[in-house]
Amino acid sequence: MKTIAWFAFALAALSAAARVILTNPRHKATLECGVSSFTDILQWFHGEDLLHSVSGKSGIPRKGHFNVAGRSKVRSETTLEISDVKEEDAGKFVCNADGRREEHTLLVASVWASPSADLQLGSEATLHCKVSGLDRDSTVRWTSPAGSPHSGWLESVRRSDAGTWQCVFSQDGGVYSQNLAIEVQVPAPETTAPPSSPSPSTSCLDCVTRPPPSAAAPLLGLSWWVWLTAGGGCLAVVLLVVFVVVLCERIKRKRKHQVMKNGRQKPKSYCQCDCPAAAAKPQRGRRREKPSAPALQAAPLL
C-alpha cells in the first residue's frame, strides 16, 4: 500500500514537471501555479532568477529586475501572466507556493516561408520552424499537407504543395505542432503574337521585306498624329504672333496720325482793346447837316 502511494506521488510529480505552455512571439502566455491559494509565501522564478515574490502575511509584493519581470504580473493570487512574449522568455519557470514546487516549460515557436507564404509554381522555397525553449534531445520536423514527412526545402513548387504544413516537435514526452498555410500562385501565360505568314510573291531568300506604308516606322519614335498636332500648334502660334504685330503697327500709325493732325490746327486767339470806336461813316445819298449855332447867351444887366 505504501509502495502504491509513493508511485502515485511520483506520477503526480512527473506530470507536474511535464507541463508545457506553447505560444508565439508578441503573444500572451499564462502559467498556472497548480494551487489556488497560499498561506506563507508565493514565488515565481525564471530559471534561477526571481520574478515575483508575495508574502501571505504582509501582502507586500516584490518584483525582480529582469526584462520578463517587467512584462509579467501575478493574477488570481497564484497565476503568472506574461504579455508581449519574446524568444528569450522561453525556458523553465518555477512556482513555489508554501514550499510546493511546480515547474513549467515555456516554448516560443515561429514558422514562416521564404521568400513568402505565397509561392510561385515551379519556384524554389524554404520552410522555417524555430522553437525556443526545447531540450537538446527534442526533434523538429515538417509534415506536408499530404501527411508525409518533409525536410522543408521545396526545390520546385508544385500544385500539391498548397495547403497546411505542420512543424512537429516533442518536449517532455509530449508532441506539439505549429501550422503554416501555403498558397501556390500559377503565373499568367505569356501572350506572344503569332508568326506572320510570308507573302506568296516573296519566294526568294535575298529579298528585302519592306513594311507597307501604313506600317512604316514612326519618325523619331513619334506617330504621325503627334507630328500633325505639333505642326497645327506651331502654325496657330505663328498666326497669333503675326496678328499681334499687325495690330500693334496699326495702333502706332493711328496715334502718329492723330498727333500730326492736332499739330496743324492752331488755337484761335481773341484780344480786347481799350481804343475808342471809330466814327460811323456817313451814309451815301443824305445831306450833311450843318452843326447848329451855339445859343446866344443874354448879356448881364449893368
pLDDT tens by residue, 184-225: 998 877 666 666 655 544 444 444 455 555 555 566 666 777
Higher-scoring residue by pLDDT: 247, 301: 247
* pTM, two decimal places: 0.57
In a domain, 67, yes or no: yes
| Same-domain status, 103 and 28 | yes
Which CATH number goes with the domain that contains 156?
Answer: 2.60.40.10
In a domain, 103, yes or no: yes
pLDDT, tens digit, for every residue of 81-109?
999 999 999 999 999 998 899 999 999 99
pLDDT value at position 228?
83
| Same-domain status, 21 and 93 | yes
Among residues 127, 153, 185, the one where a domain terminates is 185
Q: Is the pLDDT of residue 24 over 90?
A: yes
Tally the domains of the chain.
Answer: 2
| Same-domain status, 133 and 104 | no
In a domain, 239, yes or no: no
pLDDT, tens digit, for every residue of 252-267?
888 888 877 776 655 5
Range of the domain at 115: 110-185
| Same-domain status, 148 and 100 | no
Higher-scoring residue by pLDDT: 106, 272: 106
Q: Is the pLDDT of residue 62 over 90?
A: no
pLDDT value at position 296?
46
pLDDT band at 175 (very low <50, low <70, confident <90, very high): very high
Among residues 87, 109, 131, the one where a domain terminates is 109
Q: Which three cell numbers stand for residue 4?
A: 502504491
Among residues 109, 133, 163, the one where a domain terminates is 109
| Same-domain status, 104 and 132 | no
